[in-house]
Structure formats: C-alpha cells, structure tokens
Amino acid sequence: MANKLYFRYGVMGSSKTAQALMTKFNYEQQNYKVFLIKPTLDTRDNFEGKQIIRSRIGLEAEAVAFLPDDNIEELFNKYNKNKNYRAIIVDECQFCTTKQIEELKNLTSLVPVFCYGLKTDFQTNLFEGSKRLLEIADSITEIKSICSCGKKAIINARFSNGKLVTSGSVIDIGGDDKYKALCYDCYKKYAKENK
C-alpha cells in the first residue's frame, strides 16, 4: 500500500494539534518512531531552547522546528540516519512554503506524511501551505468545530479590544487571546458592527 500525504485542517480551537499528537501516540504505541516537526513561525511554545507542540487540552511533545527556507527532505534525511522513522507529522502546516509541501509529498515515497493546520487566514484567504496541500494531498479531512451560536465554524476571526480585525499582517501568532472561530453569519455580524 502506497504512503499518502494527508491534510487535516480546521479552524482555531478545533483540536488539530491534539489530533496530531494522538496520531503520534498511535504510532508510538506500536513502537514506531515519528518525525514531529513544526515551522519556526509558530513561536508560542518554545521553552528553554526546545520546540514544543502543545494542544489546548494539555497534550504536548518536543518537535523539530524548521525555517521557511529549510529543505524538509534534507531535514528528514539528517534526522533519519538510522532509517527508523515510520511517519512524519507536521503541526501548523499552513506556514509551510509551496516548495516544502512538495518536499513533504516527495517523502511519501518513504513514509506517510500527516499535515495539520489552518486552511485560511483571518481574512478568509488560503495560506500558501494549505493551498498547495489542497492541490496535491492524497487525503483531505476537515476537523469540524462550532461557532458560539452553534453553527459550523469556518472562519478564523482575529479580534483586538473586542473588535473584529479585517486588515493587517497575515501572520500574527496567538490563540484564544486573539482569535475566535466563527460561522459566516457571525463573521458578517461582527464586520457590520465594526463599520
């Protein structure tokens, strides 16, 4: 059976990181090693020089961080000298470059690759990494979440001082302090209130 490139996406707070760490746990329960990585753009959980992937429910694991200009194939080969990794898991994959997603796709000749992240930014535009994953992933799964009104959440809305933010830098790392998962109707309502 051929290895695949998996893209599992959802809005902020939809348990993407928790699911990534549960996938890692499932492999490790079978005594398989997992190459867990994340982009350096996600700076929220770096402690004492260690790169940590941490979910909102408290699961965490140490990871290898990579820069936007790093070659993921070379990075994997560097860490996989004993050829004992059985899977690659990428958290916050939306921050990958197009080239890095293609490198991850190439690595499926060796192992399955699981990418977890956001599909769109706070302005509802596709992230570069997510766009390429939607184009070339073998399997695409939405991790669903709900808006506070009860409808399906599809938008990663950014807030500042209680007001919806609709412009500014695409990258503004944060969690529940800055972002809220909204359905489209609630997003429109907040946008209308801001006018």
Q: Taking each helix axis from N to C terminus, what angle separates 98-107 and 128-136, rounded to the nearest 10 degrees?
A: 40
- The residue behind tokens 């909102």 is 56
d(CA 36, CA 71): 15
For residue 85, list its beta bridge partners.
Answer: 33
d(CA 158, CA 114): 27
Q: Is 92 one of the annotated active-site residues of the chain?
A: yes
Which pair of structure tokens corresponds to residue 182?
A: 């909204």
Using CA atoms, how far residue 154 sits from 135, 183, 185, 188, in Å, is: 19, 5, 10, 12
Residue 73 phi/psi, 5° resolution? -65, -45
Residue of 60, 74, 92, 135 with catalytic role: 92
N-to-C CA span, the chain: 54
Position 51, amino acid:
Q
- DSSP states of 88-119: EEEESGGGS-HHHHHHHHHHTTTS-EEEEE-S
Q: Which residues are catalytic?
A: 92
